[in-house]
Structures are given as structure tokens and as C-alpha cells.
Amino acid sequence: MKHDFVSSRIRLALSGLCLASCMLFTPAVTRAEVSLPPPQIGEGMPVMQALAKRHTSRSFAEAEITPAQLSHILWAADGVNRPESGGRTNPAALGVHSVEVYVVTAGGISLYQPNSHALQAVAEGDFRLTTTSGQGFVGEAPLTLVYVGNSATWEESGRSLPAEKQVLFDSVAAGAMAQSVALAAAAEGIGTCVRASIDQDAFGAAAHLQDGQTILLAQTLGVLP
């Protein structure tokens, strides 16, 4: 059972951009971006109803997650909700937004760019099973988000903390992000499963992670049956 989450046009664009840039750059981390539709903030289910629906799901329908739904999910994860200050939908210790959201689909891996509300291509191919250490449903689900802390962001902020504190604060932030995603997803009829069971080496290699990047949490999503 195969699922596609992005429309064929966006997926083709992501693949093409990644392929072109992979030929130009080594490693294959690229600057190619695909814009997401803007989030529709005036729409949606009341938060109390979304909370009433939240639960862990590990089996999904064959339906796709649409670009509009993906836009809502990623905006809930780490979107800019106060453009005047650059503030995000989720809190961050000392205001340092050091947790990045990798987006893993059947077509490839990309990195969410909160400021441009876009996806930056990272790798082409189906790497969904690298995000799990053995849960088969992850390889069939249309979308997995991987929350990764980045010590370089702490260093650049000038507010560096001891490494264990950074990972602790980043983990708390990732939990907040995942719960926002769970609620936004529940409001769209999309189920979620947060997961600590991740093949760290396999995903680190697939996503070209560098020293100082720490895989914190994964979250698999799919349309509810």
C-alpha cells in the first residue's frame, strides 16, 4: 500500500530540484525550496474538540495528505505566527528556536523553513523506514516528521548552554511542537503517532545530519480510516 502526501506537481518539483542540486553540491543538502500554501488561520475545529479527538494512531487510510493539510501541520509544528517579531507557534527556551523539522515522505526528505513557510529539499528517495527501529506501519504512512535539535543555532544565538541543557530544552520544545501537530492533525481527520524509536544512524545518514544535530523525536501521520 503506497501513499503520496504531496500533489504530483509539488512532488515532481521537489524531486527535480533535489536531483538538479544533488548534481551541483556535495553533500546533497541543497538550498532548493518549494513554497507551501499559506495556512488558513481563520478555519478549523475548536481546540477543545481537537483535544477530545487526540489519540495515538498506527494505522491509516490510503488517502493522501494534501499540500493544504501539510501547510497546517508544519505551521502548527514551527510556523511563524507573529511576523513582526518572528515569533513561532511554539515556545523555545531563551527564545532560541533550535529544533528543526525534517519532513519524510515516499518521495524524499526535506527541511521545513519557518520563515518562508517552504520545504527545502534534502534527499530524494523513500527513506521512511530509516525513521523507525522496526515499526512497519511507518513505511506505509504518508508522512513522518523528525524533530532534530541543532547546537549550531544555540552557538549562533550567542546564548550557548551546556550540551545536556541544550538537548533537554530542545526535547521539551520538540514535545510542544509534536502536541501542536497532533491537535492540528486531529482537526483535519489526520492521525498521529509520536515515536522515540528511531534508527538514529540510518536517519542521520539519510538526512545528511552533521555533528551537533540531535534526533529527538519522530511523529508519523496519516489520514484516519
Ligand X SMILES: Cc1cc2nc3c(=O)[nH]c(=O)nc-3n(C[C@H](O)[C@H](O)[C@H](O)COP(=O)(O)O)c2cc1C
Planar angle of CA 102, 13, 26, nearest 5 degrees: 60
Taking CB under 6 A as the binding criterion, the range among 51-59, 118-126, 151-159, 203-211 that sits at the site for ligand X is 51-59
Residue 193 binds ligand X (CB under 6 A): yes
Q: For the chain, what is the largest distance between any 2 Cα atoms, rounded to a whole number of angstroms?
A: 48
Taking CB under 6 A as the criterion, the residue among 12, 20, 47, 196 binding ligand X is 196
Task: Kindly tell me which of 63 and 172 has the beta carbon lying closer to ligand X.
Answer: 172
CA 156 from chain centre, in angstroms, equals 22
Question: Residue 189: is it exposed, middle or buried by C-beta count within 10 angstroms (0-12/13-18/19+)?
Answer: middle
Residue 20 binds ligand X (CB under 6 A): no
Task: Kindly tell me which of 22 and 129 has the beta carbon lying closer to ligand X.
Answer: 129
Residue 128 binds ligand X (CB under 6 A): no
Q: Are 64 and 3 in contact (CB under 8 A)?
A: yes
Minimum gap (Å) between residue 42 Cβ and ligand X:
29
Tracing cell 501513499 back to the chain, one arrives at 3
Task: Kindly tell me which of 66 and 135 has the beta carbon lying closer to ligand X.
Answer: 135
Minimum gap (Å) between residue 131 Cβ and ligand X:
10
Taking CB under 6 A as the criterion, the residue among 20, 55, 62, 136 binding ligand X is 55
Minimum gap (Å) between residue 112 Cβ and ligand X:
21
Taking CB under 6 A as the binding criterion, the range among 32-40, 53-61, 114-122, 152-160 that sits at the site for ligand X is 53-61
Residue 194 binds ligand X (CB under 6 A): yes
Q: Classify the phi-psi angles of 95: left when phi > 0, otherwise alpha if psi is within -120 to 50, otherwise beta.
A: left
- Give the total of residues touching ligand X (CB under 6 A): 9
**For the residues of 186-210, what is the DSSP string, one character each?**
HHTTEEEEEES---HHHHHHHTT--
- Which among 64, 9, 46 has a CA at the least distance from the CA of 190? 64
For residue 116, give every residue at least 6 positions away whose Cβ sits within 8 Å of its Cβ, in sequence order, or none: 33, 35
Taking CB under 6 A as the criterion, the residue among 8, 40, 49, 56 binding ligand X is 56
State the residues that interact with ligand X by CB under 6 A.
55-56, 58, 135, 193-197
